[in-house]
Amino acid sequence: MRKASIDRKTTETGISAIIDLDGTGLFDVKTGVGFLDHMLEQFSRHSLIDLTLLAEGDLHIDFHHTAEDSGIAIGQAVSKALGERKGIRRYASVDLPMDGTLTRAAVDVSGRPFLVWKVNFTAQKIGDFDTELVREWFQAFTMNAGITLHIETFYADNNHHIAESCFKAMARALRQAIEIDPRQKDKIPSTKGSLAG
C-alpha cells in the first residue's frame, strides 16, 4: 500500500497531509489560500494521487510559509509512500498545453532532489497570491520528495495559465514516473540497486 501521512508543526504553520499514490485523484485541500488550494487540487486530480491536506499558517503575515510548508509536507509524504521506489517507471516527461501556454515537466524519481526552473511570470501577483511562491512550492516539494524535476514554460498567454500548467505538467509526469512497471515490479530501476539518494 503506497500511502503515507505527515504531520508537520512549526511556529509558522501546522500541516497535516495524507496521500495515496495509487488513488483516483480525490482531494480535500484547505490551506486558507484560495489560489494554492486550486493548484494543489490540480496536482491531485492530474497525478491521480489522493490528497488530503489541512494547513493552518501565519496568513496574517503573508502566504509564504503556508505555500512552502505545504510543499515540504506533500513532498515528505510522497517520499515516504514511495519507500524503496521498487518497481516504478522512474522517468517521465510531459508537454502540457493550456490555451496559449505550453509547459514541459520532466521528472526522475531518483532519490536525488534537484530543481531546474525555467519559468518567468510577467506579473507579481495572481489575485492576492505572489507568483514567486509558485517556485517556492516546487522547490520545497522537489527537495522533500527526493525527485529531480525540470520545468520550462516555452510561451504563455497569462500568468494563471503559467502557474496552472506547471502544476498540471508536473502532476502528469509524476503520475507516469511513479506507476509500477509490470516488467520490473519487484526491482529498483537503477544499476546501483538503490534510489535512496
Domain boundaries, given as residue ranges, for the chain: 3-177
Beta pairing partners, 17: 6, 53
What is the assigned CATH class of domain 3-177? Answer: alpha beta
The whole-number pLDDT of residue 197 equals 60
Give the C-alpha separation, 74 to 13, whole Å: 14
The whole-number pLDDT of residue 191 equals 66
- pTM score: 0.96
Blockwise average pLDDT, block size 10, the chain, 197 residues: 96 97 98 98 98 96 96 98 94 98 97 97 97 98 98 97 98 97 85 70
Reported as type and span, the H/E element at residue 65 is helix 64-82
Dihedral, CA of residue 54, residue 57, residue 63 and residue 68, to nearest 10: -70
For 152-191, b/e burial (b = at least 16 CB within 10 A) is bbeebebbbbbbbbbbbbbbbbbbbbbbeeeeeeeebbee
